[in-house]
Amino acid sequence: MRRLLVVDDDHSMRAILQEALTNSGYSVQNAKDGKTALEIINTEGCDLVITDLVMPEMNGTELMEKVRKKYPNIGFLIITAYGTVETAVQALHNGAFDFITKPFSISQIESRVERFFEYEHLKEENKQLKSKLSYNEKFNKLVGKSKAMERIHHQINIVAKSDAPVFIQGESGTGKELIALAIHENSERVNQPFLKINCSAIPESLFESTLFGHEKGAFTNAIKMHKGLFEEANGGTLLLDEISEIPIAMQAKLLRVLQEGKFTRIGSTKEISGDVRVLATTNRVVNEMVEEGKFRSDLFYRLNVFPIIVPPLRTRPEDIPLLVDHFIKKFQMKYGYDKKEVNKETLDELIRYNWPGNVRQLENLIERGILYSGDEKVLTLGHISLETDYIRQDHNGPGIDVLSIAEMEKRLIYHTLKKTQNNRTQAANILGISVRTLRNKLHQYAQEGDLPMEIA
């Protein structure tokens, strides 16, 4: 039976509501003030509190704040007089389900209570539906059905609903950021901010301001107050990408925020409380950095509450066909091509390859192949590589020709011009450069005596 608690300093109001709602099939208790209400909730629990807004010692809003801090699932229905409607609206922003103004009829209060439980039922149904989604639906950005990927899906399922820090470790290009996003999207914070920062890209002098903010005039060029990422991400998730690059001096301040949930803007003495779920990634071997004194052990242990180790692509070749199909669909749509596929010979070569750049390298290779293939329906080794022999496999294992960036760029330009029958405007569009840049490149190659006759 659903449990209600009526809180009002007016005895007659308490008695009328208790009798009416009991007759409607609810289990109803009453309390004459906020203190008594807290005692009942702490000892016997409650589903919905119906409380007067204006009461001595502790008003309805203060009661709601105390209760919801400890019991966030308990609902609140506020009773208010006409003159305090503005305060009641503020209570809605702070978490109340609804408010009702005096005078009201019994049918009106019964209708509000019924609507609350209908809403709670819908929320629970939605939660159950989400929990029944298949892995493919829940992790549609994380392509792969290998045992290693299934383990990661399982780990995300376990940790997403908690607020535990997650430390995602793996080589560059393995998809650590996508895993962090999947954790956020499957958490209760999904409708709150998801902010990310690449720690290796922040100058050391700006770390503290970037993370915690600063007050106007805190330092030269601080012309206005600036909120840091921890403040902007309040209620949501903050991803600290490549956290191993944070300067050692900043690590102690970050540790304090993780432990206490409080921080201070530069130039201020006021502490700010934040409710932020922190996820971190690194492509470094952090244990070695701890031993070398480059990463604080206490920060490592605080972040490593729930570690996720992302395997490199070379250890899960069974995922490569799925990834290839995924990227072909992505880029044929991006560039407006009809359905394409990769032939068996090329797929076999891709499966055997070592993938030092992991999934990101495969994605880049498929995009290049789509551009090379043009209107052709089947991607071959000639499309996938910069030249037909760019990716080579021999009987001794995977290998790759060594080419400079300049040489790869030159071959890509020549191949694109060949595909467009020397249409320089079309080729420049495909290459993502201006016609002027393309013309300058060709002029340079001509001066070097390395411009094919059909292009000159």
**226 lies in some domain:** yes
What's the chain's Rg over C-alpha atoms? 30
Question: What's the pLDDT at 140?
Answer: 63
Distances, alpha carbon 445 to alpha carbons 412, 417, 426, 429, 442, in Å:
13, 14, 20, 20, 5
Where does 222-379 have alpha helices with state H? 229-232, 248-260, 286-291, 297-303, 320-334, 344-352, 358-373
> Is the CB of residue 303 less than 8 Å from the CB of residue 280?
yes
> Is the CB of residue 60 less than 8 Å from the CB of residue 78?
yes
Where a domain ends, among 94, 129, 164? Answer: 129
Question: What's the pLDDT at 354?
Answer: 85
Cβ count near 98 (within 10 Å):
16
Give pairs for 100-109: CB < 8 Å, separation 24+.
104/79, 106/16, 106/20, 109/17, 109/20, 109/21, 109/50, 109/77
Number of domains, the chain? 3
60, 194: one domain: no
**147 lies in some domain:** yes
| Matching residue, tokens 């449990």 | 3
* Amino acid identity for residue 437 in this structure: T
Q: Which of 89, 90, 97 is nearest to 119 (CA)?
A: 97
**454 lies in some domain:** no
Give pairs for 411-414: CB < 8 Å, separation 24+.
411/386, 411/387, 412/368, 412/386, 413/438, 413/441, 413/442, 414/452, 414/455
Give pairs for 105-112: CB < 8 Å, separation 24+.
106/16, 106/20, 109/17, 109/20, 109/21, 109/50, 109/77, 110/20, 110/21, 110/24, 112/77
**64 lies in some domain:** yes
Instruction: For residue 286, give both structure tokens.
Output: 């952090």
Question: What's the pLDDT at 22?
Answer: 95
- 263 - beta bridge partners? 272
Residue 187 CA to residue 257 CA, distance in Å, equals: 21
287, 378: one domain: no
Question: What's the pLDDT at 402?
Answer: 47
Where a domain ends, among 311, 333, 367? Answer: 311
Residue 1 CA to residue 35 CA, distance in Å, equals: 25
- The string over 277-302, giving b where at least 16 C-beta atoms fall within 10 Å of a residue's C-beta and e elsewhere, is bbbbbbbeebeebbeeeebbeebbeb
CATH of the domain at 251: 3.40.50.300
Residue 68 burial by Cβ neighbours in a 10 Å radius (0-12, 13-18, 19+): middle
CATH of the domain at 367: 1.10.8.60
Question: What's the pLDDT at 416?
Answer: 84
Give the three-state DSSP class for 197.
strand
Residue 152 CA to residue 178 CA, distance in Å, equals: 11
The per-residue pLDDT string of the chain (456 residues; one tens digit each, 9 = 90 and over) reads 899 999 999 999 999 999 999 999 999 999 999 999 999 999 999 999 999 999 988 999 999 999 988 898 899 999 988 666 777 777 887 888 988 888 889 999 999 999 999 888 887 776 666 555 444 455 567 888 899 999 999 999 999 989 999 999 999 899 999 999 999 999 999 989 999 998 888 888 788 888 999 888 887 777 888 888 999 999 999 999 999 999 888 999 999 999 988 999 999 889 898 899 999 999 998 989 999 999 999 999 999 999 999 999 999 999 999 999 999 999 988 888 888 999 998 899 899 888 888 998 899 889 888 988 888 899 888 787 634 334 444 434 333 444 556 677 788 888 888 888 888 888 887 877 878 888 888 888 887 777 776 676
**Residue 379 Cα to chain centre, angstroms:** 33
Question: What's the pLDDT at 126?
Answer: 67
**202 lies in some domain:** yes
**135 lies in some domain:** no
Residue 51 CA to residue 63 CA, distance in Å, equals: 9
298, 156: one domain: yes
- 100 - beta bridge partners? 79
User: Running DSSP on this structure, what letter comes out for residue 186?
Assistant: T
Where a domain ends, among 286, 311, 336? Answer: 311
207, 246: one domain: yes
* Amino acid identity for residue 58 in this structure: M
Cβ count near 99 (within 10 Å):
20
Whole-prediction pTM value? Answer: 0.58
105 lies in which domain range? 3-129
271, 235: one domain: yes
- 281 - beta bridge partners? 168
Question: What's the pLDDT at 2?
Answer: 92
Residue 134 CA to residue 409 CA, distance in Å, equals: 42
